[in-house]
Amino acid sequence: MLIVKKFGGSSVANKERVYNVAERILEDYKKGHKVVVVLSAQGDTTDELIAKAKEINPNPSRREMDMLLTTGEQQSVSLMAMALENLGYPAISLNAFQVKMETTSVYSNARLKRIDSERINSELERRNIVLVTGFQGVNRYDDITTLGRGGSDTTAVAIAAALNADKCEIYTDVEGVYTADPRVVKDAKKIDEITYDEMLELASLGAKVLHNRSVEVAKKYGVELVVRSSLTSAEGTIVREECKVEKMLVSGVAGDKNVARIAVVGIKDEPGKAFELFSLLAKNNINVDIILQSIGRDGTKDISFTVPRDVLEDAKKVIEDNLGRLCAQKVEYDDQVAKVSVVGAGMASNPGVASLMFESLYDSGINIKMISTSEIKISVLLDEKDTERAMNAIHEGFKDRF
């Protein structure tokens, strides 16, 4: 069997953890399996490198940031190879150049395009344990790139797809995917199985357990994932196309604070205004999420929408620079909001999910600012300070439906 195992930063944070992971790798290797291991940077290394960069230059170029941040993963794979060597087993570490992991050219947020399986396969044939740096790639200028924070998951899934692996295991410091962040909701429960679509929603709605692009890649290539703990032998959560267990109504509650709301007030009520506004934002690479347009009154209307809070300043600039063209009376910004969502493949065929969610919020006296729905999720925008309370209230409201 060919197994890809990915270990997150906390799982390899120090010497003891490194040896713990080495043992987990060897369990499979000793059974005769081929093992490819993808590693993240140890502990808080990536955050520390970012802080270090900002000390030198508060506004470093993305190219140089990628050059710096990728050193974290390179430390992890070489240290793990040394640990395995020390235990008497053959291991080899490889970086993105050696594996030829081609990405798009965008620094700090590149996408994997192609992975050459040749080098990895030949090392596996020699019975080496292959340790690959997560998070990094190489673009067409032969520069090193990164896949965005948390991107090592995506490296692992892409390698599993490229090698046609039999298993792809994502090891972390929790026992799997939970119905809500257990640090926020005490009663959160581990989920045994979840579909790609649900996981994709949860990952992009703020559940931080998997990089959302890793789920996209898994879905595209049909890679079945297991998310499990590197510290216990608990079974973890399986992420796949269809779940065998009887469909639960909802699978999870997620909260996201990387949200800001923009309201463009008093736009002329005529065709083309929404197009003008959103094409302007799209051209500047600003992702828009929830959109709400008011009923026109006195020849004008309001459009409000949300953007990730970390691009609010960029969005502000684009809008302020084009106020004349948009013919808007004023623009309001609010960066004290958050988005709380429930996700579940079962909700498509079950009325009443929205009302149960709103009832839970009402019972806790929490005000809703905006609402958006899709087939398998309902999101509400609320005051940031209400986030944790809202997650708990909604989780409690749905407790018999998970």
Residues making contact with ligand ASP (CB under 6 A):
9, 40-41, 46, 72, 134-135, 149-152
* Nearer of residues 173 and 359 to ligand ASP, judged by Cβ: 173
Q: Do 160 and 34 contact (CB within 8 A), yes or no?
A: no
Q: How far is the CB of 8 from Mg ion (least distance, A)?
A: 5
Contact call for residue 72 and Mg ion (CB under 5 A): no
**Binding partner selected for residue 135 from Mg ion, ligand ASP, none, CB under the kind-specific 5 to 8 Å limit:** ligand ASP
Which residue's Cβ has the minimum distance to ligand ASP? 152
Paired sense of beta strands 91-94 and 129-133, if any: parallel
**Binding partner selected for residue 93 from Mg ion, ligand ASP, none, CB under the kind-specific 5 to 8 Å limit:** none
* Nearer of residues 172 and 360 to Mg ion, judged by Cβ: 172
Paired sense of beta strands 129-133 and 34-39, if any: parallel
297 strand-pairing partners: 300
**Element holding 300 (H helix, E strand):** strand 300-307
Q: Do 389 and 300 contact (CB within 8 A), yes or no?
A: no
**Binding partner selected for residue 252 from Mg ion, ligand ASP, none, CB under the kind-specific 5 to 8 Å limit:** none
* Nearer of residues 145 and 179 to ligand ASP, judged by Cβ: 145
Query: Binding string to Mg ion for residues 294 to 313, with x set by CB under 5 A, is what?
Result: --------------------
Q: Do 134 and 38 contact (CB within 8 A), yes or no?
A: yes
Q: How far is the CB of 292 from ligand ASP (least distance, A)?
A: 33
**List of residues 6+ apart from 122 with CB closer than 8 A:** none
Which one of residues 72, 134, 137, 150 is an interface residue with Mg ion (CB under 5 A)?
150
3-state secondary structure of 301: strand
Q: Which residues of 58-76 are buried (b: 16+ CB within 10 A; e: fewer)?
A: eeeeebebbbbbbbbbbbb
* Nearer of residues 40 and 251 to ligand ASP, judged by Cβ: 40
**Binding partner selected for residue 149 from Mg ion, ligand ASP, none, CB under the kind-specific 5 to 8 Å limit:** ligand ASP
Q: Do 228 and 168 contact (CB within 8 A), yes or no?
A: no
Segment near Mg ion (CB under 5 A); pick from 2-10, 85-93, 187-195, 231-239: 2-10
Q: Which is nearest to 269 in space by CA: 320, 327, 324, 316?
A: 327
* Nearer of residues 208 and 401 to Mg ion, judged by Cβ: 208
- Residues 7-26 interacting with Mg ion (rule: CB under 5 A): 8
Instruction: Return residues touching Mg ion (CB under 5 A).
Output: 8, 150
